Structure 1
Amino acid sequence: MRFLMFFISFRVMRPSVLFATTLAVSTACFAQESEIQINANVPYRPELADDAYAQEFCKLDIYQPAKDVSNAPILIWFHGGGLEGGSKTSGLTKKLAESFAAQGVIVVVPDYRLSPNVTFPTYLEDAARVVSYTQTYIASSQNGADVFVGGHSAGGYIVSLLAMDLHYLKDAGVDETTLAGFIPVSGQVMTHFTVAKEKGIARPAIIADEAAPIYHIRKETAPILVIMGGDDWPARLEENRYYVAVMRKVAENNSIALVEVDDRTHSSILKGLSSPDDPAAIAALSFIRTKKLPPDEIIENN
């Protein structure tokens, strides 16, 4: 069954009307607006049928352009929330998905299991399975469409670790060379503070162990576009600048770029991504459409 067959078109007077239908694998809600269609709550880890928490959280939403989706690029987007909160349906995450879908990108937005209900590396394993599901059931039906993996904050951390420590993708049956690129936004490249807390390491300690993306620097990776706000959390911008520098100078990896928007905070960089004329959105969409990294840039957003 082709991916496009998952979506049913309706002619309605109001774009907010919701419809429900039963699929062979799940019951999903469909919404059609003027520019996008949404397939919600698709399970991506059905093998965990005996785990009630996994069955609740291991679901994803698919945002699809309503027209001309043949060979449309795909963006998997992981939400933020400190690995302890957040949701695929949170306001800014949903707006980003709607905006990118309206501009011709299929956007896959998953939930994943959260700390303290689970601990590292369970959320990484869930994320890798999302990538596997997307390649198997969505990209394959789009004639092998390009798949990009992005996320904000904790989602950016997840994206960076998937990009750097390949065993998560390999264990999920994903060949990293088949991915078009990674887009971590405002991510932590040291060991995430929630992971450190799980290990009994209190703030303000900063560590870089096997749970840190920067620990796994290497020469060959898919292209990585790092996006940061100039007024992000204390030292987060500098942390990402250092990551890009060591990737280039130590690992000799030139498949990485850093775009900074000078006046953006940890949250407003995400808010801006949902606006087509925003500099961060322009950089991300250009990368997705062309598969070419932009030059490093500090953008003065007047």
Structure 2
Amino acid sequence: MFRIPTLLLLIVLFTSVAAQDTEYKTLSNIPYYPEEVRSQDNYISERCMLDIYYPVNKKDFTTIVWFHGGGLTGGNKELPDALKNKGLCIVGVNYRLAPGVKAPAYIEDAAAAVAWVFKNIRQYGGDTSQIFVSGHSAGGYLAMMIGLDKQYLAVHNIDANSIAGLIPFSGQAITHFTIRKENGIDDKQPVVDKYAPLFHVRADAPPMLLITGDRELELLGRYEENAYLARMMKVAGHQHTRLLELDGYGHDMVYPAFPLLLNEITRLSKSN
């Protein structure tokens, strides 16, 4: 586990291997559920869409699936500018939100979106062995849930271990506070059940880099949850979990975390 001084972030560099003349294309509002599912659920038809930003003249590119934050109750899909023009593909995902649905609907949506990427990214030029899953806050929680609890991707005949890496930003490691609220549990009452990434620690999970803000500035307990998850993953025998704490940054720590995400992708890609 490492505490990252703010000053150090100023010298974190990511060297893109993309050629200067790389061209990119954006496709918006692609449904990731099949028509037979969408036709039976108006909310799925309205909400369950994704956007793709990808290099059009490059083959076997890496893909980052990005889940937005918003407490599982708000937010919209996004293609972060900090990840653009790096020779990578970005997939921004919308998912259903509470109170329109309850758990596990939004987790199921996240899995359906990642499964869509595995099944379709080749046609755009992507490499299915280089699909990373990330997101901020609620998005980080979703990334961890579908990466650690294999049942969600298994529904789509995808092995969660096929994910190249999980890189959540300030994701909730215990049961998400919105799910606790759905069950009448106070948001200050910690719960670790089947809806908690901590419940699904396992030795054979994909590599995982946990990034949080400063423990004194983060949402209540968020750093500590991630620190406990990192510890328990190691206790379980997982050899590739790391935790980074961004000194001086609170919960809204996405900007300084993006270079760390890109560096992690480079590190893991070189190790393959």
TM-based fold match above 0.5: yes
Does residue 71 of the first structure (1) align with residue 55 of the second (2)?
no
Q: Deviations over 1:69-124 (max 9, x none)?
A: 31110000000110011111xxxx44x2x331311110001100111111100111
Q: Which whole-Å CA distance do the structure 2 matches of 1:129 and 1:180 have between them?
A: 17
Q: What residue ranges of structure 2 are gaps of 5+ in the alignment? A: 1-21
1:207-222 to 2 correspondences below 5 Å: 207-222=191-206
Q: CA distance change for structure 1 residues 293 and 265 in 2, over 3 Å: closer, same or farther? A: farther
Letter in 1 for 2:42: A
Q: Is the 8 A contact 1:223 1:293 kept in 2?
A: no
Q: Structure 2 matches for 1:12-91, cutoff 5 A?
A: 36-45=24-33, 46-48=35-37, 49-65=39-55, 68-88=57-77
Matched residue, 1:106: 89
- Say which SS state the counterpart of residue 37 (structure 1) adopts: strand
Aligned to 2:109: 126
For 1:195, the equivalent position in structure 2 comes to 179
Instruction: Describe the SS at the equivalent of 2:219.
Output: coil
Q: Identify the residue that residue 244 of structure 1 maps to in structure 2.
A: 230
Question: Structure 2 CA distance, aligned partners of 1:69 and 1:260?
Answer: 34
Contact 1:131 1:174 in 2 (8 A): no
Flag as ranges the 4+ runs of structure 1 deviating above 3 A: none
1:157 aligns with 2:144: no
1:135 corresponds in structure 2 to 118
Which structure: larger Rg? 1
Asked which structure has the greater RCO (Cα within 8 Å, sep 6+), the reply is: 2
Counterpart in the other structure of 1:255: 240
Separation in 2 of the partners of 1:139 and 1:153?
29
* 1:284 paired to 2:261: yes
Give, in whole Å, the separation in 1 of the partners of 2:25 and 2:125. 16
In the other structure, the counterpart of 1:265 is 250
Secondary structure of residue in 2 paired with 1:108: strand
Deviations 1:164-198 (A, max 9, x none): 11100111221123221111110000000000111
TM-score (norm 1): 0.77
Q: Which runs of 5+ in 1 are unaligned?
A: 1-33, 273-277, 295-302
Question: Is the 1:77–1:107 contact (alpha carbons within 8 Å) kept by the matching residues of 2?
Answer: yes
What amino acid does structure 2 have at the position aligned with 1:227?
I
- The alignment partner of 1:284 has SS state of helix
> Which residue is 1:7 aligned to?
none
Shift of 1:35: 5.8
Helix, strand or coil for the counterpart of 2:249?
A: strand
Equivalent AA in structure 2 for residue 149 of structure 1: V
Q: Kindly provide the CA deviation profile for residues 113-149 of structure 1, in whole angstroms up to 9, marking residues without a partner as x.
A: 1111111001111111111110111146526341001
Q: Which amino acid aligns with 2:103?
A: F
The separation in 2 between residues aligned to 1:166 and 1:254, in whole angstroms, is 18
Is residue 139–residue 147 contact of structure 1 (8 Å, CA) maintained in 2?
Answer: no
TM-score by length of 2: 0.85
Structure 1: distance between partners of 2:188 and 2:245 = 25
Q: Which residue of 2 aligns with 1:225?
A: 209
**In the superposition, relative to structure 1, how do residues 71 and 290 fare at CA in structure 2: closer, same or farther (>3 Å)?**
farther
Matched to 1:39, the amino acid is L
Cα deviation, residue 290, structure 1: 3.2
Structure 1 residue identity aligned to 2:176: H
Which residue is 2:127 aligned to?
144
